[in-house]
């Protein structure tokens, strides 16, 4: 039996379906420097930019990036921003630089990035790109001597549920989806060419101590901890408001169920009287009755995102507080000696 020839689109679609899951995001050192420079120049304002590279098997290679103009709430400005992106990618293609979009990067303030806007941006990218990531950089966290850089993607189960726009408790239990299953953090691997590695070795100072090492020894972490605690309190207030919405929903639901039972008992007693009189019984369901109108259940997406943000703030406070205690004990031991 002769093999049936397949078109290029069929072959590409089959390879796309058989693509392995994303395991590593490999970023060139120059790209990281561009991201840090852009985010720190405009801090504390939040900025974004485009990531360019290649999708190779289970590795997403990020080989270049460029910043987006500062966005304003104006349709003309937004249209100019879209034209700017297209023009930049055309110029990169003309000079034979990777111009395949693999995601975007954005800055954040004290780790407050888990929002509905981030999810919507992910879904917009997913319409055209099968696999994309978002690189999050936090300048405020990096000031503590840590490279606060992480790569995120949405989980497949969450994207499927988001497309259906059904975040009810029953659907979440059916999918076995919790607040920790929204985002997936992908490990980041920094890659440099042999020439750049050799050049960096030449630039390496004789002393092994760097500026980053001095930053790790800063004893003053109160401002960072105070801001984290402030944001944590705000998130707790938001979570309390979300819980009040669900309490109001369940109160209305129990009240409606009581009204339905009362109406059914009255209708059944009326039907017994009608049967005794030899008349036809009335139906036990009345769609026009307000008591049988379903009450929409509030979405749990906002509460999931707030819970994610609370966990992020708690982890940051825990990490910084632990490091601060270690430094304080170190300084105490040095002073005693």
pLDDT (average), residues 51-56: 88
Per-residue pLDDT reduced to its tens digit, 218-266:
666 677 788 888 888 999 999 999 899 889 988 988 888 888 888 888 8
Return the pLDDT at 26: 92
Q: pLDDT above 70 covers what percent of the chain?
A: 84
- What confidence score (pLDDT) does residue 21 get? 83
Greater model confidence, 224 or 66: 66
37 burial class (0-12, 13-18, 19+ CB within 10 angstroms)?
exposed
Per-residue pLDDT tens for 24-45?
999 998 899 999 999 888 888 8
275-324 pLDDT per residue, tens:
888 778 777 777 667 777 888 888 888 888 898 899 888 888 888 777 77
Given a cut of 70, whether residue 72 has pLDDT beyond it is no
| pLDDT of residue 105 exceeding 90 | yes
pTM of the model: 0.74
Q: How sure is the predictor about 134, in pLDDT bands with cuts at 50, 70 and 90?
A: very high
Quick one: which of 24, 29, 27 has its CA closest to 57? 24
Q: Which two tokens stand for residue 97?
A: 């630089």
- Comparing 20 with 243, the larger pLDDT belongs to 243
Residue 188's pLDDT is 92
Average pLDDT rounded to a whole number, residues 193-201: 81
The candidate with the shortest Cα–Cα distance to 113, out of 301, 241, 305, 321, is 305
Over residues 203-209, the mean pLDDT reads 68
Percent of residues in the chain assigned helix, strand, coil, to nearest 5? 55, 15, 30
Structure confidence at residue 2 (pLDDT): 46
Rounded to the nearest integer, the mean pLDDT of the chain is 80
Q: How many CB atoms sit inside 10 A of residue 228's CB?
A: 24
Question: Which residue do the tokens 């395949």 mark?
Answer: 100
> pLDDT tens-digit profile of 261-280?
888 888 888 888 888 887 78
């Amino acid at each position: 039996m002769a093999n049936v020839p397949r078109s290029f689109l069929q072959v590409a679609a089959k390879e796309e379906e058989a693509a392995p899951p994303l395991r590593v995001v490999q970023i060139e050192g120059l790209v990281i420097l561009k991201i840090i420079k852009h985010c720190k120049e405009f801090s504390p304002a939040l900025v974004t930019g485009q990531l360019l590279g290649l999708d190779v098997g289970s590795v997403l290679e990020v080989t270049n990036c460029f910043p987006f103009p500062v966005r304003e709430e104006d349709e003309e400005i937004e249209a100019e921003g879209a034209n700017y992106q297209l023009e930049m990618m055309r110029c990169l293609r003309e000079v034979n630089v990777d111009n395949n979009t693999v995601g975007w990067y954005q800055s954040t303030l004290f780790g407050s990035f888990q929002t509905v806007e981030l999810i919507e941006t992910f879904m917009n990218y997913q319409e055209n790109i099968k696999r994309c990531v978002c690189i999050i950089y936090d300048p405020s966290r990096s000031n503590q001597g840590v490279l606060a850089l992480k790569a995120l993607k949405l989980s497949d189960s969450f994207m499927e549920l988001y497309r259906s726009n059904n975040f009810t408790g029953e659907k979440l239990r059916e999918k076995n989806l919790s607040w920790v299953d929204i985002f997936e953090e992908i490990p980041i691997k920094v890659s440099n060419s042999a020439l750049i590695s050799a050049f960096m070795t030449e630039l390496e100072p004789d002393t092994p101590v760097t500026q980053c090492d001095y930053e790790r020894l800063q004893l003053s972490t109160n401002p960072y901890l105070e801001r984290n605690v402030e944001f944590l309190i705000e998130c707790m207030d938001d979570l309390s408001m979300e819980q009040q919405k669900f309490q109001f929903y369940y109160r209305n639901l129990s009240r409606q169920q009581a009204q339905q039972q009362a109406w059914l008992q009255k209708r059944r007693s009326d039907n017994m009287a009608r049967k005794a009189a030899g008349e036809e019984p009335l139906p036990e369901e009345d769609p026009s009755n307000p008591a049988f109108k379903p009450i929409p259940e509030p979405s749990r997406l906002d509460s999931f995102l707030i819970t994610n943000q609370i966990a992020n703030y708690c982890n940051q406070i825990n990490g910084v507080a632990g490091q601060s205690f270690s430094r304080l004990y170190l300084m105490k031991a040095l002073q005693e000696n």
